[in-house]
Amino acid sequence: MLLESLQSTVEEVNIFSTSDLFLRQRLELVESLWESVLKAECGLELVDLLKKLRKISSPEGQVTDQPKTSINELIEELELNEAIRATRAFALYFQLINIVEQHYEQRDQQLNRRSTYQESEKARENYQKGEKSTNGLVGADLLEKALVGETKSQEKGGTFHWLFPQLKRLNVPPQQIQRLLEQLDIRLVFTAHPTEIVRHTIRLKQRRIATLLRRLDQAEEAFRGMGLSSSWEAESIIEQLNEEIRLWWRTDELHQFKPSVLDEVDYTLHYFDEVLCSALPQLSQRLQQALQDNFPRIKPPHNTFCRFGSWVGGDRDGNPFVTTDVTWRTACYQRNLILEKYLAAVEDLTEILSSSLHWSNVSQDLLDSLERDRVAMPEIYDQLAIRYRQEPYRLKLAYIQKRLEHTRDRNNHLANPEQGQVLVEETPENIYHSGVEFEAELQLIKRNLEETGLKCQALENLIFQAQMFGFTLTQLDFRQESSRHSETIQTIASYLNILPTPYEELSEAEKVNWLVGELQTRRPLIPMEMPFDEKTIETVETMRMLRHLQQEFGIEICQTYIISMTNDVSDVLEVLLLAKEAGLYDPGTSTTTIRIVPLFETVDDLKRAPEIMEALFKLPLYRTALAGGYDYLDEDKKEQLPPPQLQPANLQEIMVGYSDSNKDSGFLSSNWEIHKAQKSLQKIAEPHNLALRLFHGRGGSVGRGGGPAYAAILAQPTGTINGRIKITEQGEVLASKYSLPELALYNLETATTAVIQGSLLGSGFDDIDPWNGIMEELASSARKAYRSLIYEQPDFLDFFLSVTPIPEISQLQISSRPARRKSGKKDLSTLRAIPWVFSWTQSRFLLPAWYGVGTALEGFLQQEPEENLKLFKYFYLKWPFFKMVISKVEMTLSKVDLQIAHHYVKELSDPEDIERFEKVFERISEEYHRTCEIILSITGQPKLLEGDAGLQRSVQLRNGTIVPLGFLQVSLLKRLRQYTRQAESGVIHFRYSKEELLRGALLTINGIAAGMRNTG
């Protein structure tokens, strides 16, 4: 038996140790199962072929010394079906080892958390014995002490039980911690960006295998604890794993159809249903426990300190399929999901809260509530009064459950009115109008329990969920590109003939003056019947839908409206004017129920962002709107209005984009411009007494701002976080972070830890002018080098379209959104950042995440080689921003494979293009080697990732097998493109159809994405 063959290995180590031996044992298991399934499904010939193909590369991922011609012949001679089966087999292998590694990471985090907790307990005991820190400094020295020499602690994830003892040892004043916790505001926004290549069906199979692995851990621990040599339960689980993998093999990996927006809604909200709804209460409990252990007098933050948002169903930028109907159905879908979760929880509580009046007292307020319920819902009383006559909690929960059911039924009718009327007559008393009403009833039960000395954790968790998710589940953000608003205003103004000069021809100052004037009048601008084009009508109807959603679901459902490609002050005022027309902005009180969020994406826009925001802040009308209008009203008018409860007063949210700035100027320039913009925006906001919440539009890949969130947050400029941050989470990142409960908790805890740590332990290193001057020089040099290749090299566009699978990637059915912002000419300006990064990842160049960095660093080193290298090493040690940049570049370089990349160039280029494409490749190769050499000299390591054993292991784990998949992709792309050329000429000499060839090529894209654990 397989289990017995592994027994000798297992017995050498405690199964719950953190050593790599456990990981290797699990990898051996899944690889053995993988081979077994392939033999059973396809025969020994496929397994032998796979072994032969894997010999193409060394364990480190380099192509072996065997002649390249023999490799090509082996691949090219494969029948299409053989190539496809080999591709599918390698893709399955990568998916399986991803599951194992993720499972291992989750176990490792549990162990590290336990270890960190024990260390913090020991430190707390020492502190109480009088072994206190003697350093009372707060500021730059604190960050030095916290970051330098704390590498080992940070490897444990920066958990709460690591952070708060640190703050105590560093003598951070409790009052300072308290102030920060009171304004702690972390928002993670799920987007529908098309970087998730794995089908939802396959994700479910992955989850089942992860569950079986967890059960296998428990079974093996149990039989080893009893001193037994074998376990029928473990053997049974291994057999179930085998069955799951066989079923997976027979499942199509490719999306069967282009997903609709509502499909994407379902895929994304799946993580709330499966993991987040139950995980988030634990996050709050962990923080409270760590705080109690170290600062018992500090009040913990509100339960909603970490909240989620979503763009799925609200992001219209470049996606014509996000209609008002889709947005409405999305909001109903969200409400239905959370109501079903509440119903299941109430059923569980009914089982738990069985207290009888014979043995427990209840307060009069609960009895009064039950009497009101009897009058409002007599049918429930008639049905259950006898059954629950001595069990008041169960009777109360029966009323709560029925109200939830009525609320759900009404919601389903709103989502699908064509399906008929609601079965139960709706009254104000038999439904909930908001999550606040639902929470109030739960709080009533909680108070009664506490008064009798009882506590119910399941009830506490449900109250937490009610506070966190309400009846909306998550906030739904809207986004649209700035030109759509300008075009809408132009169309309306032209139709009404109210401007002497067309709106589009006005200067920026003239636009602002006219918009401000329109915003101060109650006269409607848009006629009820709109004789406009489809786009104009859709833009106006979007605002009306936003208003309709707030009326039905409460303003918490959607308060954020993001303007992508913000270029001027008028871009923001145009949206405010359209909001006014929809009833979302009141010119009389200067109050608004939405928050307009400018998104600065390109480098030029990032540079102009401070100037634009300064101009906005100086506009009395806009400044009053930010204050909620209330603070700026006369005292007599204040008495006529309730205090503002719509938005936190005097808070401006600003979004910075990583993807387009990187595509525009390269990795180093993009990150530096974002870094600078944040500092400048903070300085501008302070004199206006405004707080900022910076919204980071990060993707999954390094080329789009991705990478470990913990280090990225700590690398933000000092004084710009202040307990507030908002970050996008998208594509494959959702699966890697939130598919398993402990991993989700770990990622949420490290993000929260980083926000607290970065806010309290500012360094001041970001404000050292000579350092900033050096970085400015480096960013400028890197941008010049990057753009000289990407935008100024005349052969580059042809090179990109030929030697990467960009034409084929656009045919993947992974998103409802088109790959290009606008149809027409296929140039880099219209191509979205995601397919841009995706294609370079597939061909193993990973160009957007590192090109230009080596040239910039080398140019500075050449000025004073020894001294400047020492300076770089010092930056790397002391400056979080610089270390983040170098670490991300190092990680990306470790995934680059120029041998494979060169194979793409030689095999996919037309013969007449080879000479000019080789020159482009040589230029890329020179920059790669230059960058590697300098990065290693800065880190002081002999090899890339030598200082990060875990990440190095993860990369090497895949490198040895991903090479043959690259060869297979090239072969299938060649065949597909040859077919296309023949079809264009009218003469086709192929055994296979275009559909068969395209399917093979797309399967290789799936496989390489799984092997790289990254797409775009």
For 12-59, write each residue's pLDDT tens digit.
333 334 457 778 888 999 999 999 999 999 999 999 999 888 887 665
pLDDT at 622: 96
454 with 290: CB under 8 angstroms?
Answer: no
pLDDT at 135: 38
Mean pLDDT score, 683-691: 95
How far is the C-alpha of 43 from the C-alpha of 34, rounded, in Å?
12
Three-state DSSP class for residue 188:
strand
418 with 396: CB under 8 angstroms?
Answer: no
pLDDT at 62: 61
Of 310, 313, 304, 188, nearest to 750 by C-alpha is 188
How far is the C-alpha of 172 from the C-alpha of 981, rounded, in Å?
68
Phi-psi region for residue 793, left (φ > 0), alpha (ψ -120 to 50) or beta? Answer: beta
Of 650, 628, 657, 647, nearest to 726 by C-alpha is 657
* Among 103, 193, 580, 902, the one annotated catalytic: 193
How far is the C-alpha of 666 from the C-alpha of 454, rounded, in Å?
59
Largest CA distance in the chain: 93
pLDDT at 126: 59
pLDDT at 639: 47
Lowest mean pLDDT among 353-362, 527-536, 548-557: 353-362
Mean pLDDT score, 248-263: 84
- Tokens read off for 557: 């459902």
Check pLDDT > 80 for residue 321.
yes
- Tokens read off for 403: 């109200």
Mean pLDDT score, 528-544: 94
pLDDT at 106: 75
Q: Is the dihedral of CA 794, 796, 797, 799 positive or negative?
A: positive
Instruction: Please indicate whether residue 611 or residue 26 has the higher confidence score (pLDDT).
Output: 611
Assign 9 a pLDDT band (cuts: 50, 70, 90): very low
466 Cβ contact partners less than 8 Å away, ≥ 6 residues apart = 342, 435, 438, 439, 442
pLDDT at 732: 73
How far is the C-alpha of 129 from the C-alpha of 124, rounded, in Å?
9
pLDDT at 121: 59
What is the β-pairing status of strands 475-476 and 651-657? Answer: unpaired
How far is the C-alpha of 209 from the C-alpha of 245, rounded, in Å?
8
Q: What is the pTM of this model?
A: 0.88
Instruction: Please indicate whether residue 57 or residue 492 has the higher confidence score (pLDDT).
Output: 492
989 is catalytic: no
What is the β-pairing status of strands 560-564 and 595-600? Answer: parallel
Mean pLDDT score, 922-943: 97
Lowest mean pLDDT among 100-109, 271-280, 348-357, 874-883: 100-109
886 Cβ contact partners less than 8 Å away, ≥ 6 residues apart = 876, 935, 938, 939
Three-state DSSP class for residue 314:
coil
What are the angstrom distances between the C-alpha of 823 and each of 318, 812, 830, 831? 10, 17, 8, 10
How far is the C-alpha of 670 from the C-alpha of 605, rounded, in Å?
11
Percentage of the chain modeled with pLDDT above 70? 85
Assign 363 a pLDDT band (cuts: 50, 70, 90): confident
Three-state DSSP class for residue 132:
coil
* Among 341, 406, 485, 663, the one annotated catalytic: 663
Check pLDDT > 90 for residue 772.
yes
How far is the C-alpha of 194 from the C-alpha of 368, rounded, in Å?
53
688 Cβ contact partners less than 8 Å away, ≥ 6 residues apart = 617, 623
Phi-psi region for residue 523, left (φ > 0), alpha (ψ -120 to 50) or beta? Answer: beta
How far is the C-alpha of 555 from the C-alpha of 579, rounded, in Å?
14
60 with 959: CB under 8 angstroms?
Answer: yes
Check pLDDT > 80 for residue 433.
yes
Assign 906 a pLDDT band (cuts: 50, 70, 90): very high
Instruction: Please indicate whether residue 890 or residue 137 has the higher confidence score (pLDDT).
Output: 890
Mean pLDDT score, 260-273: 90
R_g of the chain, CA atoms, integer Å: 30
How far is the C-alpha of 566 from the C-alpha of 601, rounded, in Å?
8
Check pLDDT > 50 for residue 633.
no
Lowest mean pLDDT among 256-270, 548-562, 643-657, 853-867: 643-657
How far is the C-alpha of 931 from the C-alpha of 637, rounded, in Å?
63
User: Where is 857: in which H helix or E strand?
Assistant: helix 853-863
Three-state DSSP class for residue 171:
coil
- pLDDT, one tens digit per residue, over 493-530 is 999 999 999 999 999 999 999 999 999 999 999 988 89
Percentage of the chain modeled with pLDDT above 90? 62
Check pLDDT > 80 for residue 808.
yes
How far is the C-alpha of 50 from the C-alpha of 52, rounded, in Å?
5
Mean pLDDT of the chain: 86
Three-state DSSP class for residue 639:
coil
132 is catalytic: no
Assign 754 a pLDDT band (cuts: 50, 70, 90): very high
Assign 642 a pLDDT band (cuts: 50, 70, 90): very low
Lowest mean pLDDT among 168-177, 210-219, 934-943, 951-960: 951-960
Instruction: Please indicate whether residue 986 or residue 789 has the higher confidence score (pLDDT).
Output: 789
> 647: buried, middle or exposed (CB in 10 Å: 19+, 13-18, 0-12)?
buried
Assign 637 a pLDDT band (cuts: 50, 70, 90): very low
pLDDT at 23: 83
Mean pLDDT score, 791-805: 95
Phi-psi region for residue 499, left (φ > 0), alpha (ψ -120 to 50) or beta? Answer: beta
